[in-house]
Chain A
Amino acid sequence: MAKRIDVSGLTAYYGNHMAIEDISMTVEPRSVTAFIGPSGCGKSTFLRTLNRMHEVTPGGRVEGKVMLDDENLYGSGVDPVAVRRTVGMVFQRPNPFPTMSIFDNVAAGLRLNGSYKKSELADIVEKSLRGANLWNEVKDRLNKPGAGLSGGQQQRLCIARAIAVEPQVLLMDEPCSALDPISTLAIEDLIGELKERFTIVIVTHNMQQAARVSDRTAFFNLAGVGQPGKLIEIDETERIFSNPSVQATEDYISGRFG
């Protein structure tokens, strides 16, 4: 189910601007990997290269290799649509489809990918909503619009929508930055549960969050404004936060800059 990601020599551009340069790393399966770093260091851009969402941005271009187990996401003949089905994503701001009900939101990805019987669909929707710890809150109003939920509920709805299609990897781009502390806690608990089944990569601005939820942490930095972002180091989260091997990481974590 969950897969390992091996990135080597990955560089991404916006038009002529190099956003991230020459990144290589390994993301372990069934674990949470957190990306931290100052604003503009390219951690979100890098995340979006992992399911080929970067190239939908106008001018977005990628060089390098991203191996999902033994397949290169950027190999010839690989369909980006199939990649995104395999590597799910949750965004910074909750984005349920505004015209769809809660049920239809969760079922949206399934309906794209094949035909299901009504009962099958209902089972998967329930399982996904339970998986996102949202079932008890919404089971009585599955036909109400998803946009009527609170911010935290909407984000969990988006997680349910992403896991309903059983992806191998789940990417989360600052999933809690638009949420209040209680909702944040709920999502963090959920991430802990989800890593049993998925490979999870999470971008966060919040270092306590990285320390709380992740097994491994990658620190990104950039030399200056307009310079491409680079991976400084990646290691066990404990090591990064207690005894990082690079000075810049320690400076950032101890709040000396960024």
Chain B
Amino acid sequence: MSETTPQHENPPPPDGIRTTGADAPGDLPRAPLAEARGTGRIGDKIFLGLSRGAGVTLLVIMAAIAGFLAIRASHALSANEGNFLTTFTWDANANPPVFGIAVLLFGTVVSSIIAMALAVPIAIAIALFITHYAPRRLSGPIAYVIDLLAAIPSIVYGLWGGLFLVPHLEGLYKWLDDYLGWTKIFAYHDGAARSLFTVGILLAIMILPIITSVSREVFRQVPRMHEEAALALGATRWEVIRMSVLPFGRSGVISASMLGLGRALGETMAVATVLSPSWDIVPSVLDAGGGTFAQNIASSFKEASGDMGKDALIASGLVLFVITLVVNGAARLVIARRKEYSGANA
């Protein structure tokens, strides 16, 4: 009993704040205690070192990614005879090499915009369906299945897109061409439906589950009392959603969409399987052609002979890396702001 008393006087600090342990060195009864704490401290040091080392490893990897990509990209860029931003060709193997990302940038942005325009409203609707409309017995299983769908590998989406979706879209594209063909954007000149619009549809289907599940969580967190406040004023279900659910969930939905956008921008295989790429900018989104960063890297890789071919692809990969960093960083900022906001109201 007497041995444990000093420990009570001097309990180990709960969180990370380590005392120096240099108190009362000449005090005899405390000597074994100091010793016991000493061994603990060696173990603690090793453990802290290991876990901190792991964290640092992560930082080193991130720095290495940026560094290596930048170095290889600079090789390619300094040898490039074309303008990297405006050239419409990709002849990295030629001597001198000529390549540019104009087509890729255009294709990536256009297909992502189409994907977002289709996926975000539908994902919000599905999230609302699960939290507010579906019969209670159904909403749990539906949410579960949607989470599972998020795990389906992108190559499977790609295979389905290439062999099932593309043939089924041709009729729809002809139809769009009949009524909207005059806009030029929705003109369709037959051929396989391997266009940026198809890519957008497939990407929308792929990012739907992730946007849905994040939005669903946000909607579920809407305090019951805010919804009851609207109900008690005689609001219909839609008015409850508009008055209390959507305002509360807005920033969450924004960040969910940005996460989805990040995925759409970087998606490789599904795009590579449904797009029939070309090195020009096609005015109609329904006509085959165009390309995206990730798709081009995967499709051109095996023909990229020599270091220059690969370095050119790495240069385009660096651009993609920076774009996704910006998008994800923005999403995180929105989430962080929301945390502060909801904390203030808790």
A-to-B contact residues, CB < 8 Å: 51, 53, 56, 58, 81-86, 88-89, 91, 93, 95-100, 108-109, 112-113, 147, 158, 161-162, 165
Contacts and interface: CB of A to CB of B under 8 A. Distances in A.
A85 B233 CA distance: 6
SS of B interface (majority): helix
B194 to A, nearest CB: 45
Contacts of A89: 228, 232
Interface size on B, as a range, is: 10 to 19
Interface stretch (B109-117, B154-162, B243-251, B326-334): B243-251
A81 B234 contact: yes
B345 interface: yes
B47 to A, nearest CB: 43
Contacts of B230: 97, 108
Given A108-B243, A147-B345, A97 B232 contact: no
A165 B230 CA distance: 13
A95 B229 contact: yes
Contact of A112 (B226, B229, B239, B247): B239
A165 B233 contact: yes
B236 interface: yes
A243 to B, nearest CB: 36
Given A93-B225, A98-B345, A88 B239 contact: no
B136 interface: yes
A90 to B, nearest CB: 8
Interface string B107-141: 00000000000000000000000000000100000
Given A58-B136, A98-B248, A161 B225 contact: no
A162 B232 CA distance: 8
Contacts of A56: 228, 231
B34 interface: no
B235 interface: yes
Interface of B: 136, 223, 225-226, 228-236, 239, 243-244, 247-248, 345
A107 to B, nearest CB: 11
Most chain-B CB neighbours within 10 Å: which of A81, A86, A91, A113? Answer: A81
Nearest to B236: A81
Contacts of A91: 225, 228-229, 232
- Tell me which of B225, B232, B239, B247 has the highest count of chain A C-beta atoms within 10 A of its own C-beta: B232
Q: Which of B225, B230, B233 has the most CB of A within 10 A?
A: B233
B150 to A, nearest CB: 26
B179 to A, nearest CB: 36
Given A91-B232, A99-B247, 17 more contacts: A56-B228, A81-B234, A84-B232, A84-B233, A84-B235, A85-B233, A85-B234, A88-B233, A95-B225, A95-B226, A97-B226, A97-B230, A98-B226, A98-B345, A109-B233, A113-B234, A161-B229
The winner among B136, B223, B234, B345 for most chain A CB atoms within 10 A is B234
16 contacts: A56-B228, A81-B235, A81-B236, A84-B231, A84-B233, A84-B234, A93-B225, A95-B223, A98-B226, A98-B345, A100-B247, A108-B233, A112-B235, A161-B229, A161-B233, A165-B234
A99 B248 contact: yes
A97 B244 contact: yes
Contact of A53 (B228, B236, B239): B228
A81 B228 CA distance: 12
Nearest to B234: A85
A95 B228 contact: yes
A214 to B, nearest CB: 21
Contacts of A109: 233-234
Nearest to A90: B232
A51 B229 CA distance: 13
Contacts of A162: 232-233
B37 to A, nearest CB: 46
Given A93-B225, A95-B226, A53 B244 contact: no
Nearest to B233: A109
A88 B233 CA distance: 6
Contacts of B235: 81, 84, 112
